[in-house]
């Protein structure tokens, strides 16, 4: 024991001169020193560790610590600390002249990045910068991937070269030792300096069967979040564009910004150039995107379905700008700009953008605003611009200023709210009798809410509002006039309401029933919606279960909810065993004055009945229904949503009906959307979906889709077919397929249809 301690101490003292500031630490069951050949020999549970110079965990040089050699029976593995390289083997030979370490037998090497290398033999210098390994297996911590090779070399501490190697991030088990996919190559080079992995003569195997070959292939190190290079291409086929290929190039400008340039080649139309720029700043981010192309074979005589639609130009483009900037802890500025050469460009060429919301909306909205959020105060200045097929009558809204302050509940739980709105709106041309060319609006209102709960459970809510409006109208021909005029208009609108409710509960041994009657008396003056005040933002106000008891049921401010009314309703709730639930509400409004209302569903003295039903027979079956019926029982509105099943079998559907009297187009809307999906195996899922028109004159499916998807820890693929029946100028009914492959750590290979993806929106008013 004395000899072994002395030999280790000699090695320790001498190592200070050649190992730099921090030495190696070697521990083994048996250590001998060959003075003639200047060799250190260690056998049995050999452990080597090196503390790096940049280690934040080392407070003092290692050689100042007390040196210990544990006896074999007390020996424990060395504790790995931050930025330390650790190595374990059966035997070690260290040549002090050549500064070379030779290890053999059950080698485990853990580097400073926590990657683990298993090998049979290893030869390294004492700085671990250069070396040679045989029969190596690498477990990568960053991506959980594995590299195996016949042999490997390390050069200059940065480049690892693997010969006859294989890489895969897929997990394997005893029952299935072959990974789902793997890359085999003659040479795999991992350049840690350039943060790049390169393959020469590479073959991709799927379940051990070679399918793809590439003489040269590279991708970024899995630890790299962003690196310049080509991304996986997007391929597609559609009747509208023909075959198409999109090949993006990603360029890293600096740590906070990047640029993606995406040239797109189509078979039936011209090439498209798309680009996207992104930048992160200290308290915000910015994204700029756009594309440009020239359409071919445009038959302009057949492009318009009516004279009001604008013919698409030959040169077509789109621009997007999105930004979010935190000006302070309370102030936020955002922009969202969306413009295109024509309103159907992003639907016709949906391959240029990944933004489904923009691509599916015909009219584009641009918005810029500065907001302040502090305590109970909200303030904002906003601006809106719209791109439609009628630019001459489309408004520009700027500025739209808003200030709102709400107090905390007071001594009697009262809440006070103060609101101010200022708006300037302009358009090139007026719509006579409907909207003016220019208008300015100032609205100020104060509101008080006071609740009271009696010890019997009755709740009484009192709410009052006092509002003043001032308008300046320019360039407006009123219905009774024959020429444009400029004038000012104003109104003072007080309103108050008292709401009473009492919840009644009957409890059983395994169930409970809740009954809650509600009543409200709402008082306001009549006749405060004159035609001289144009209606810009209150054109579609609809009575439903959510707003029946609101003080004001109007959308926007240009129309007031005038008159006196008595509102009543009934809430029911049943809570049964096994998570069964049943909720039901019905209500109605009765006008107390002779004037008719302007809200859909409340235009007569007695409103339609509004109702809502929610049924939960079990946790795997849910039905949601909301509707509106006339006094005679005629159906005016119905929306039914159902969800049935478990992941093994799941059916969901949405049905909607709106009578033609309640739609601006004066046509019935009757549609159903349904989807059926099944997660029939652990990694497999199949789904079917359809959007079906049920109106007799429009009876057909507007969109159909079926898909099959496989997904596990390292691979995902899906296959889908679709059909659409949308038609708008040069956007025609389309059909095609969708295929997507995603390989973990390698990126995504995504062939997709270049046509418009089915729009599942059921209700467009």
Given the DSSP bridges, would you call strands 131-139 and 242-246 parallel, antiparallel or unpaired?
Answer: unpaired
Task: Using the structure block, give the residue that is written with the tokens 């926590």.
Answer: 114
At 190 the pLDDT is 87
Weakest mean pLDDT among 159-173, 273-287, 346-360: 346-360
Q: Are 672 and 743 in contact (CB under 8 A)?
A: no
Q: Look over the chain and give the mean of its residue pLDDT values, rounded to a whole number.
A: 82
pLDDT confidence band for 747 (50 / 70 / 90): low
pLDDT confidence band for 698 (50 / 70 / 90): low
How large is the greatest C-alpha to C-alpha distance in the chain, in angstroms?
118
Rounded CA separation 542/549 (Å): 13
Cα 420 versus chain centre, distance: 34
pLDDT confidence band for 84 (50 / 70 / 90): low
309-361 pLDDT tens trace: 667 888 999 999 999 999 999 999 999 999 999 888 888 887 776 543 334 56
Q: Are 585 and 528 in contact (CB under 8 A)?
A: no
Rounded CA separation 298/425 (Å): 36
106-116 pLDDT tens trace: 888 887 777 88
111-138 pLDDT tens trace: 777 788 899 888 888 777 888 888 898 8
471-523 pLDDT tens trace: 999 999 887 776 778 999 999 999 999 999 999 999 988 899 999 999 999 99
Residue 752 has pLDDT above 60, yes or no: no
Q: Which of 749, 730, 727 is nearest to 739 (CA)?
A: 749
- The neighbour count for residue 556, using CB atoms within 10 Å, is 12
Residue 291 has pLDDT above 80, yes or no: yes
Residue 282 has pLDDT above 80, yes or no: yes
Per-position DSSP letters for 219-264, written without gaps between them: EE-TT-S---EEPPPEEEEETTTEEEEE--EEEEEETTEEEEEEEE
Rounded CA separation 635/24 (Å): 85
Report, as an integer, the average pLDDT of 166-181. 82
- More confident call, 701 vs 671: 671
529-558 pLDDT tens trace: 988 899 999 888 899 999 999 999 998 999
Tokens of 460: 């009484």
At 728 the pLDDT is 76
Rounded CA separation 343/363 (Å): 6
pLDDT confidence band for 20 (50 / 70 / 90): very low
Tokens of 393: 């009558």
Tokens of 510: 């395994």
At 584 the pLDDT is 96
Q: Are 737 and 237 in contact (CB under 8 A)?
A: yes
At 763 the pLDDT is 29
At 734 the pLDDT is 78
- The neighbour count for residue 399, using CB atoms within 10 Å, is 14
Dihedral sign, Cα of residue 696, residue 697, residue 702, residue 704:
positive
- More confident call, 15 vs 734: 734
Q: Which of 437-451, 646-660, 667-681 has the highest mean pLDDT?
A: 437-451
Residue 372 has pLDDT above 80, yes or no: yes
- Residue 301 per-residue DSSP state: G
In the chain, what percentage of residues exceed pLDDT 90? 41
Tokens of 558: 């240009």
Rounded CA separation 216/230 (Å): 14
Report, as an integer, the average pLDDT of 420-429. 96
Report, as an integer, the average pLDDT of 571-586. 92
At 50 the pLDDT is 61
Residue 739 has pLDDT above 80, yes or no: no
Rounded CA separation 62/53 (Å): 11
């Amino acid at each position: 024991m004395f000899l072994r301690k002395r030999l280790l101490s000699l090695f320790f003292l001498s190592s200070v001169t050649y190992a730099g500031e921090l030495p190696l630490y070697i521990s083994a069951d048996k250590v001998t020193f060959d003075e003639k050949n200047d060799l250190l020999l260690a056998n049995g549970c050999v452990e080597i560790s090196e503390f790096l110079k940049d280690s934040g965990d080392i407070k003092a040089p290692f050689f100042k610590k007390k040196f210990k050699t544990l006896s074999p029976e007390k020996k424990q593995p060395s504790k790995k600390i931050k930025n330390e390289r650790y190595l374990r083997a059966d035997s070690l030979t260290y040549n002090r002249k050549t500064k070379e370490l030779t290890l053999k037998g059950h080698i485990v090497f853990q580097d400073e990045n926590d990657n683990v290398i298993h090998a049979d033999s290893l030869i390294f210098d004492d700085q671990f910068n250069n070396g040679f390994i045989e029969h190596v297996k690498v477990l990568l911590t960053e991506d959980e991937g594995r590299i195996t090779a016949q042999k490997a070399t390390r050069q200059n501490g940065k480049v690892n070269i693997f010969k006859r190697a294989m890489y895969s991030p897929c997990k394997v088990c005893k029952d299935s030792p072959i990974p789902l996919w793997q890359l085999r190559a003659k040479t795999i080079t991992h350049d840690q300096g350039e943060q790049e992995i390169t393959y020469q003569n590479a073959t991709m195997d799927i379940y051990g069967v070679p399918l793809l070959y590439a003489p040269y292939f590279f991708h970024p190190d899995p630890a790299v979040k962003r690196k310049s290079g080509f991304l996986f291409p997007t391929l597609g086929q559609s009747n509208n564009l023909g075959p198409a290929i999109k090949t993006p190039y990603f360029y890293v400008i600096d740590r906070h910004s990047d640029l993606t340039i995406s040239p797109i080649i189509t078979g039936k139309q011209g090439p498209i150039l798309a680009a996207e720029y992104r930048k992160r700043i200290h308290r915000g981010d910015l994204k700029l995107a756009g594309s440009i192309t020239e359409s071919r074979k445009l038959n302009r005589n057949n492009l318009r379905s009516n004279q009001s639609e604008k013919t698409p130009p030959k040169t077509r483009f789109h621009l997007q700008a999105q930004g979010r900037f935190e000006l302070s802890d309370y102030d936020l500025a955002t922009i969202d700009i969306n413009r295109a050469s024509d309103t159907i460009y992003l639907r016709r060429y949906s391959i240029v953008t990944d933004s489904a919301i923009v691509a599916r909306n015909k009219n584009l909205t641009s918005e810029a605003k500065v907001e302040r959020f502090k305590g109970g105060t909200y303030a904002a200045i906003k601006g809106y611009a719209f791109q439609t097929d009628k630019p001459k009558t489309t408004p520009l809204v700027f500025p739209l200023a808003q200030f709102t302050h709400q107090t905390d509940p007071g001594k009697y739980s009262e809440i006070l709210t103060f609101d101010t709105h200022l708006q300037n709106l302009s358009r090139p041309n007026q719509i006579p009798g409907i909207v003016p060319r220019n208008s300015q609006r100032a609205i100020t209102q104060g509101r008080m809410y006071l609740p009271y709960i009696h010890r019997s459970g009755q709740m009484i809510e009192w709410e009052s509002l006092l509002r003043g409006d001032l308008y300046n109208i320019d360039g407006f021909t009123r219905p009774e006039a024959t020429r444009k005029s400029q004038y000012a208009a104003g109104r003072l609108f007080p309103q108050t309401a008292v709401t009473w409710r009492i919840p009644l509960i009957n409890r059983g041994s395994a169930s409970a029933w809740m009954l809650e009657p509600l009543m409200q008396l709402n008082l306001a003056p009549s006749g405060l919606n004159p035609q001289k005040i144009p209606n810009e933002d209150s054109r579609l106000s609809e009575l439903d279960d959510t707003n029946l008891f609101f003080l004001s049921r109007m959308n926007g401010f240009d129309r007031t909810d005038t008159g006196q009314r008595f509102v009543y309703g009934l809430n029911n709730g049943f809570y049964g065993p096994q998570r069964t639930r049943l909720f039901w509400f019905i209500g109605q409004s009765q006008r107390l004055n002779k004037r008719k209302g302007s809200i859909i569903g409340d235009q007569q003295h007695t409103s339609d009945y509004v109702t809502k039903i929610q049924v939960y027979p079990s946790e795997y079956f849910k039905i949601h229904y909301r509707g509106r019926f006339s006094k005679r029982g005629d159906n005016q509105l119905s929306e039914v949503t159902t969800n049935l099943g478990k992941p093994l079998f799941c059916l969901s559907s949405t049905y909607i009906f709106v009578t033609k009297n309640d739609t601006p187009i004066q046509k019935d809307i009757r549609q159903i959307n349904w989807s059926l999906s099944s997660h029939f195996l652990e990694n497999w899922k199949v789904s079917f979906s359809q959007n079906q028109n049920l109106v007799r004159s429009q009876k057909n499916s507007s969109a159909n889709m079926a898909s099959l998807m496989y997904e596990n820890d390292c691979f995902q693929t899906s296959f889908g077919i679709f059909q659409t029946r949308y038609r708008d100028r040069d956007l025609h009914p389309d059909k095609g397929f969708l295929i997507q492959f995603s390989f973990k750590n390698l990126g995504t290979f995504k062939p997709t249809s270049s046509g418009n993806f089915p729009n599942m929106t059921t209700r467009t008013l």
